[in-house]
Amino acid sequence: MLNEAAVKELNEIRQKYPNARAALLPALYIAQREFGHLSPEAYEAVSEILGVPKAIARGVATFYVMYKHKPMGRNIVQLCTNVSCMILGAEKLVDFLKNKHGLEPGGTTSDGRFSMVIMECIGACGTAPAMLVNDDFYENLTEKYIEEILGKYK
């Protein structure tokens, strides 16, 4: 079940859109935040509050890769490996994360601290390689810098 604040948030979002289906995307983000990922319960909660059938909500959500479709670690590393980042060594960083932290693309560390998702160009080509950790943005990555960054997230 969603807590009262989240229900309120969802109802407010609903008001911003002409119909309930239009409010799905932001609503799903809230549910994902509350439930950890888009679990059946998360869809049910959104469906209940917006009045959008849960099968439809799931259909919409699965179109987008940026939702969490399965349980994930506490922090999410989104590392870009598209052309610019690749040329500037992103793939080495992938190996680094794997060897040093046991963090594989699409995987989660055994302590549940990090999950990693490979991204396709996050718009930082000029300062590649780049990544996001949760909502924070990092560029000009090196192995050392990554170590420093990861240390900030528990």
Q: Considering the rule CB under 6 A, would residue 84 count as an interface residue with ligand FES? A: yes
- Judged by CB under 8 A, the residue of 16, 18, 63, 135 near other proteins is 63
For other proteins, the binding residues in 85-144 under the rule CB under 8 A are none
Terminal-to-terminal C-alpha distance of the chain: 26
Q: Considering the rule CB under 6 A, would residue 80 count as an interface residue with ligand FES? A: yes
Q: Considering the rule CB under 6 A, would residue 39 count as an interface residue with ligand FES? A: no
Residue 59's binding partner out of ligand FES, other proteins, none, with CB under 5 to 8 Å set by partner kind: other proteins
Structure tokens at 126: 């000029």
Measured from the Cβ of residue 130, the count of other Cβ atoms closer than 10 Å reads 25
Q: Considering the rule CB under 6 A, would residue 78 count as an interface residue with ligand FES? A: no
Stretch that binds other proteins, among 27-35, 49-57, 70-78, 131-139 (CB under 8 A): 49-57
Residue 128's binding partner out of other proteins, ligand FES, none, with CB under 5 to 8 Å set by partner kind: ligand FES
| Residues forming beta bridges with residue 118, ordered by sequence position | 79
Among residues 135, 146, 154, which one has the least CA distance to residue 85?
A: 146
How far is residue 35's CA from residue 38's CA, in Å, rounded to a whole number? 7
Q: Considering the rule CB under 6 A, would residue 121 count as an interface residue with ligand FES? A: yes
138, containing H or E segment: strand 136-138
Contact 80, 128 (CB under 8 A): yes
* Contacting positions for other proteins (CB under 8 A): 40, 43, 51, 53-56, 58-60, 62-65
